[in-house]
Structure 1
Amino acid sequence: LDALAEQRRARGLAATSVAWGPWADGGMAGDEQAEAHLRRRGLPAMAPDTAIAALQRAMDLDETTVVVADVDWQRFAPAFTLARPSALLAGLPEARTALAAAGDGADTAGTAEGTAPSRTAGLAALPDAERHRVLLDLVRAEAARALGHPDLAAVASDRSFKDLGFDSLTSVELRNRLNGATGLRLPATLVFDHPNAEALAAFLSAEVSGHAPAALPATGPAPAGPAGPGAPDEPIAIVAMGCR
């Protein structure tokens, strides 16, 4: 469709190709499970009335190719750029704001005056074996919550995060949860670098205590894939391919 629209424009004819985000009420997403998956990734389904109104606005822009979607930038942008920066999102003010906020949140989660140092110090004061056990239970519990499981029993300590179902979005969620719970400032690539709960707990224990972690056997590759504070003033994004 994009090529057809470009061809018509080149001939002086009217054409606009619209790449749609998901629609609600039996629209393009198709079913509740698909809608829930997209919503978790920051792409909630648009109400049909909203989508039709957005279509009119898109037509008024007189662009050849546009994207129309309801985007939760706080969720979508950090996950989409987890593996590498995106030139597309760099051109969107809402995405830049969400990415900046996500970076600030990574640095300040759970860091009310005195809170983060006291949490870190409390963990550091534990005996090594107990600290590892506490952190392993913490990682498993927070991983279970990020995946929507009721308790940590769903997260085996030696099973890779990829096999458990982690993607870029849930990896960011787990990092943020552990930031707040431990008082540490953890990298966005945390789950990529430490691919199961056992390895991640060992890393956290070393960060808290200042000791290098013991070597652990690799159990599988880290998760791969693309996949945040106040909502943007304009809930529906209408983006031309040149990010105008």
Structure 2
Amino acid sequence: MIRIENLHKSFDGHAVLKGVDLKIPKGEVVALIGGSGSGKSVLIKHVAGLLTPDSGRVIVDGKDIAVLKGKERVALRSRLGFLFQGGALFDSMTVYENVAFPLKEKLRLSEKRIEVRVLEELENVGLSGSEHKFPSQISGGMAKRAALARALVTDPEIMLFDEPTTGLDPVTGLNIIRLIDACRKRLHFTGIIVTHAVPRAFAIVDKVVMLHEGRVKLQGRPKDFMGSVDPLVQAFVGHSLEGSEDRPGGSEGS
């Protein structure tokens, strides 16, 4: 579903991606890990079509996303959902209006059908009854749930998550990871989760890919990473474990 070939990207002469190669089969969800500045967010923004490669290609379902124009580009991007790191909700819109936004932008649906889909998705993420509130009136965890509902309301085939637990307390972060897992099982999307949430995210993904200095350092199953003897992997995973106050299967919170 997603194929990245020798991808390079620089900003102001600073190379961020230095030849990334990656394949993600349909239905597979990958955790993308690595230190700050390793290129994780830049990589998924290329998959979303928000950035254009300096060289190399990003192939999504057989199509080079960088060269698509007009209706073809719109059609491909309509099959994709993106959960931004900060949620990126519109402050001037209610939760309902935020979730309805992509339906009104991408699809020709009646107001009644939009209402049904929005309320259905809000129920799926545990936000029934919050549809008339504004982002400033809800907690950080609720805002992430609302942003997730907005990303999922069009039933995307591909989901990209940029640090979905950043800024959340450990219990709320764990609940967001569990919610993503439940949504994945319901929609069967192909996905990439950029995350520092080790081992939380490892419990719900098929594969882990580690970026280091703009290249793929290592990729494999979650258990391979947890048992890796590579010093760099050990340092990253060990640090993440030390900073994690929760574990998969921990207590449920609001």
Could you say which TM-score interval applies, normalised by the shorter chain?
A: under 0.3
Q: Which structure has the highest strand share of the two?
A: 2
| Structure with greater helix share of residues | 1
